Amino acid sequence: MAEEKKSRLYVLKPLIERWPAVSKPEGHVNFRTKIIWTALCLIIYFILTNILIYGVSGTVLDMFAGFRAIMAGASGSIVHLGIGPIVTASIILQLFVGAKIINLDLTKKEDKAIYQGTQKVLVIVMILVEAIPQVYGYLSPSPELIGMVGGGLASTIIITQLFIGSFLVFLMDELISKWGIGSGISLFIAAGVSQAIFTGLFNWIPTQSSLPYSISNPPAGVIPGSYYLTSQMSLGEMVDGGFQMLFIGHQGFQNAIVPLIGTLAIFFIVVYTESSRIELPLAHGRVRGARGRYPIRLIYASNIPVILMAALLANINMFALLFYTHPTLSNLPLVGKQWWIGGYDTTAGSTQPVMGGAWYLSNLNGINGWLMPILSGGIPGGHAPWQYALKVIIYLSVMIFGSILFAKFWIETTDMGPRAVARQIQNSGMQIPGFRRDPRVLGRVLERYIPVVTIIGGAAVGALAGFADAVGTIGNASGTGVLLTVGIMINMYEQIAKEQAMEMHPVLRGFFGNE
C-alpha cells in the first residue's frame, strides 16, 4: 500500500540520481572557505553580466525590462534570463505540491529528495521555455550570423548561449547554498539592485547620453541631477515645473528626491521589521542552567515570497507579450493578439504593456506612473483616472495576497513549519520550560505562532514592495528590488554572524543542523 501512495515523480528517480549537480560537502566547511566560494561566484556573476550574446542584431527588445532589477540578469548578456528559470521552476512545484496535485510529503527525507531533484530537472526545462521565444523578434540573430550559418543554426547558437548562461547561474546558486554563505539567487539580486541604486545616485552622464546637458536633459543620477537643476534654473523656471521635475522627475528623468526618500524609507522600515520577533524561551533537557531562546521573526519567510511573486508577474508579462507580438503565437485562437490579455506598443523598443490585464499587473513606476495621471485627468497611456486608481488597487492586492500564499508554501517546503521546527528543537536537546519534552507538544505550541506570523510577514513584505513601487525608487530598482536587497543584506549579516559563532563554538553546529 505504501508503494501505491508514492508520487508519480518517482519515475524520475534514475534520472535525478545521475543528474549533474554540485556535490555536497562531507564534513563542516570552514568560514574562510565559504567566504572565498561566495566571493568567487559573485565575481563570476559580474563577469557574465558583461559578456554580450554573440550574433544578436542591434534591435533588442527586453521582455523582462520592467523586472530587470530582480531578475538578476543583464539585458543582452549571456545571463539575459537571470534567475527567472530557477524561480519559475520553484513556483510551479510549490503550487503543485501545495494544491496536492503532486503527492509528496516534504517531511519525509526520500520525498524531499525527489522534490529537490525534480526541481533541478524542471529548471532545465524552464531555461529552454524562456530561451526559445527570445530569438523570435526579441533577441533576433544578426544578418551577419545568418549569412554565415543560416537562420535555423543562428537561432540555435543564441539559444545555446542563453542556456549556458542560465545553467551557470543555476550551478553557482547551488554552489553557494552548499559551499558558501546564504543563497546564490539572493546574492545575485542584491548585487544587481545595489549596482542600480549606486548608478541612480551618482551617475553624471546625461539622461539622454547622445545629447548635451540641458534643463530637460540633466545628469541621470539624483545627486548630480538635483545639483545641476538647482544651479541652472531660474526662480521662474523652478515654479513653472522645476520643483515637480526636481522632486518627482518626469518620464525621462526618474531619479528625483521623492524616489530617494522612498528608497530610504523602505530601508529603515525593513531594518525595523526584520528586527521584530517573538522569542520562545528554551531550556536544555539534561544540562541544568543551559537556557536559550528561539526567535520567530515577524518576516518569518524572509523575502522569498516577494521574489516568487515578482518572478510570477515577470512571466505573466512575458507570455502576454508573446501572445500579442510573436508572429506565430499572435495567431492562436482565443489568446492571440487579445487586448484584454495585454496590449503592447513595441515601435519605440518598449516591452511594457499599455492595456489589458498585463497593464493592471505591471509595475506602478512611481508617482509619475499613477498619481500624476489621476490628478491630471488621465490620458498618458490613454486611460481614465478611475483605471489608474483601479490599477493601484489591483497591483497592491495581488502583491499582498500573492506574498501571503507563497509565504505559506515556502515554510512548508523548507522545514520552517511548526512540526519541522519542533523536531529541530527536540534534536538539539532543548525544550520549552513547562511543557513535556515531546515534538508533538512543541509542534502545538509553535502552531500558535508560526502560521499567524507567516501570514502577517507575507502581507508585510508584499505591502512594502507595493508601496515602494508606488512611491518610486532610485535607479529604477523597483520597490521589490530595494526591499529584497535590504532584507538580503540583513540575512547575509546574520548568516555570517552564525557561521562565525559555529566556528568558535563547534557544539552549536548541531543546533543549527550543520553537523
The model's pLDDT over 30-62, given as tens digits with 9 standing for 90+, comes to 888 888 999 999 999 989 988 989 888 766 677
Domain assignment present for residue 15? The answer is no
Let me know whether 327 and 470 are in one domain: yes
Domain assignment present for residue 136? The answer is yes
What is the CB-side half-sphere exposure of residue 189 using CA atoms within 13 A? Answer: 33
Let me know whether 489 and 408 are in one domain: yes
Let me know whether 146 and 62 are in one domain: yes
Sheet holding 277-284, edge to edge: 291-297, 277-284, 430-431
Which pLDDT score is estimated for 254?
Answer: 66
Let me know whether 125 and 270 are in one domain: no
Let me know whether 183 and 56 are in one domain: yes
Domain assignment present for residue 157? The answer is yes
Domain assignment present for residue 461? The answer is yes
Average pLDDT of every residue of the chain: 81
Mean pLDDT value of segment 312-330: 84
Domain assignment present for residue 94? The answer is yes
Let me know whether 50 and 156 are in one domain: yes
Let me know whether 153 and 268 are in one domain: no
Let me know whether 298 and 172 are in one domain: no
Domain final residue, candidates 164, 191, 218: 191
Domain final residue, candidates 169, 191, 213: 191
Cell numbers describing residue 469: 513601487
Let me know whether 152 and 265 are in one domain: no
Let me know whether 262 and 369 are in one domain: yes
CA angle 67, 93, 310 (to 5 degrees): 15
Strand partners, 206: 219
Angstrom distance (rounded) from CA 186 to CA 83: 10
Domain assignment present for residue 129? The answer is yes
Give the structural domain span for 443: 255-515
Domain assignment present for residue 463? The answer is yes
Which pLDDT score is estimated for 289?
Answer: 55
76 pLDDT band, cuts 50/70/90, is confident
Which pLDDT score is estimated for 232?
Answer: 85
Domain count, the chain: 2
Domain assignment present for residue 20? The answer is no
506 pLDDT band, cuts 50/70/90, is low
Q: Cell numbers 520550560 label which residue? A: 433
Let me know whether 186 and 317 are in one domain: no
Closest Cα to residue 304, out of 37, 42, 90, 73? 90
Task: Say if residue 511's pLDDT is above 60.
Answer: no
Domain final residue, candidates 191, 217, 243: 191
Which pLDDT score is estimated for 395?
Answer: 94
We report the CATH number of the domain holding residue 419 as 1.10.3370.10
